[in-house]
């Protein structure tokens, strides 16, 4: 039987995700951490295990993970209307902000400066992700020591450069098979995880027309797993190398905009669409890249509870969950090396961690404080 709560007013879903879409900086790991803070800890819309199950299901499908988590939560809270409202509310603020920045970029030939804000925001983002890992980790590994090993292995493989999709599905398959294997037969796990293969092949023949622009970004949304950096690899291959629609510098600037604006990193599609075809291009590119997420979540959400009830699929889900947490830890380590660059950013990170973990201050408030501090330090420096 489904574990979904009774239908709730969709307005509360809209309010939450509009705010998160306007304040969630730092990429998917930070977004998911903020959703966990709001949905599990503060509002108690679902349990830790339910949140983890949805996170695991999200990692089984392509598309932007944090947006898909928003869509999952919307469905869990307000059924089909909530599914649409949560996703649109999370995407819309970021899309509007990126559209304004794209206009300024085309008008003035440069990306508006955001160094001071980022200086203070990035250390706070690290503290937010650490908070989520500390909260989710014990629930994820409680059922078996094998899961703790799996999380550590996922972290190591990610830092070693193994493809994210291979780590996720490899972790899921290893846990699923290992739990069904005879006792003492787990020696094969490390080589099996390392050897799990991945191949993603895609091609498109397009010109800069709105229908073709839509289909190209629809393809990206339907096949790209992992972080925004994976998306940029696909965009580079198609739009820079294959078709010559963008320059290297434009792609780098699009990446910068995605990093210092809130909400889904995939809203860089809005920026690129505007560069290629103005406001209509921005709208069709945004629709194309996010539409598959709504379809995938609508298809998989109703069966997530069935996956937990089956021993085989529950083990697969557990493996994917710990692999996803391992990837989050790897992202945190890499971002931390860049974000905590001096004594001031170290102090900001520690202060943010204390505010979040000891005093349970809302993460959006902590981000705003970090941004203000960063801007002051940047101006004084």
In sequence order, what are the residues at sequence separation of 6 or more whose Cβ sits closer than 8 angstroms to the Cβ of residue 289?
A: 217, 218, 220, 221, 266, 269
Closest among 261, 294, 258, 275 to 93, alpha carbons compared: 261
pTM of the model: 0.64
362: number of Cβ within 10 Å: 16
Reported as half-sphere exposure (CB side, CA atoms, 13 A), residue 53 has a value of 23
Question: What 3-state class would DSSP assign to 3?
Answer: coil
Q: Output b/e per residue, 212-241; b: 16+ Cβ within 10 A.
A: ebbebbbbbbbebbbbbebbbebbbebbbe
Report d(CA 19, CA 125) in Å as an integer. Answer: 17
* pLDDT per residue as tens, the chain (381 positions): 444 445 567 889 999 999 999 988 767 778 888 899 999 988 889 988 889 888 888 877 778 888 999 999 999 888 889 999 999 999 999 999 999 989 988 876 654 556 677 788 778 878 877 887 887 777 777 666 666 766 777 777 777 777 666 776 777 777 777 766 655 444 443 433 333 333 223 333 334 688 889 998 998 888 776 555 557 767 877 888 788 888 877 877 777 677 668 888 889 899 999 999 999 999 999 999 999 999 989 888 877 767 666 777 667 767 777 777 777 787 778 778 878 989 999 999 999 999 988 998 877 788 889 889 988 988 887
- Joined together, the tokens standing for residue 155 give 């972290």
Distances (CA, A) of 267 to 16, 53, 69, 228, 249: 19, 26, 16, 10, 18
Q: What is the pLDDT of residues 258-309, one digit of tens each?
A: 766 888 888 989 999 999 999 999 999 999 999 999 998 988 887 776 766 6
Radius of gyration of the CA atoms of the chain, in A: 20
H helical segments located in the chain: 10-23, 28-36, 48-58, 65-108, 115-141, 145-159, 164-180, 189-195, 210-223, 228-235, 248-260, 268-300, 304-309, 311-339, 343-357, 363-380
């Amino acid at each position: 039987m489904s574990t979904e709560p009774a239908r709730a007013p969709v307005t509360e879903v809209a309010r939450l995700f509009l705010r998160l879409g306007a304040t969630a900086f730092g990429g998917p790991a930070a977004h998911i951490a903020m959703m966990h803070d709001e949905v599990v800890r503060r509002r108690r819309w679902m349990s830790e295990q339910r949140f983890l199950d949805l996170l695991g299901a999200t990692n089984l499908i392509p598309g932007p993970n944090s947006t898909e988590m928003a869509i999952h939560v919307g469905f869990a809270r307000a059924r089909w209307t909530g599914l649409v409202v949560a996703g649109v509310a999370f995407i819309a603020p970021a899309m509007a902000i990126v559209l304004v920045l794209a206009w300024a970029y085309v008008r003035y030939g440069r990306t508006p400066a955001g160094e001071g804000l980022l200086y203070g925001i990035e250390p706070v983002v690290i503290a937010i992700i650490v908070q989520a890992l500390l909260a989710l980790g014990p629930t994820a590994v409680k059922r078996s020591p094998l899961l703790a090993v799996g999380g550590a292995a996922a972290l190591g493989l990610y830092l070693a450069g193994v493809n994210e999709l291979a780590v996720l599905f490899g972790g899921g398959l290893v846990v699923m098979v290992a739990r069904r294997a005879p006792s003492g037969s787990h020696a094969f796990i490390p080589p099996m995880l390392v050897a799990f293969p991945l191949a993603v092949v895609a091609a498109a023949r397009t010109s800069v027309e709105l229908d073709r622009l839509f289909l190209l970004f629809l393809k990206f949304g339907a096949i790209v797993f992992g972080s925004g950096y994976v998306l940029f690899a696909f965009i580079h291959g198609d739009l820079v190398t294959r078709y010559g629609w963008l320059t290297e510098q434009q792609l780098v600037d699009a990446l910068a905009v995605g990093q210092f604006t809130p909400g889904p990193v995939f809203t860089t599609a809005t920026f690129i669409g505007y560069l290629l075809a103005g406001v209509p291009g921005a709208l069709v590119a945004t629709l194309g890249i996010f539409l598959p997420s709504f379809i995938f979540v609508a298809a998989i959400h109703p069966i997530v509870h069935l996956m937990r009830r089956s021993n085989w699929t529950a083990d697969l889900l557990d493996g994917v969950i710990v692999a996803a947490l391992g990837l989050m830890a790897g992202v945190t380590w890499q971002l931390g090396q860049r974000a905590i660059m001096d004594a001031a950013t170290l102090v900001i990170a520690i202060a943010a961690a204390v505010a979040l973990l000891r005093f349970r201050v809302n993460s959006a408030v902590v981000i705003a404080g970090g941004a203000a501090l960063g801007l002051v330090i940047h101006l004084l420096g």
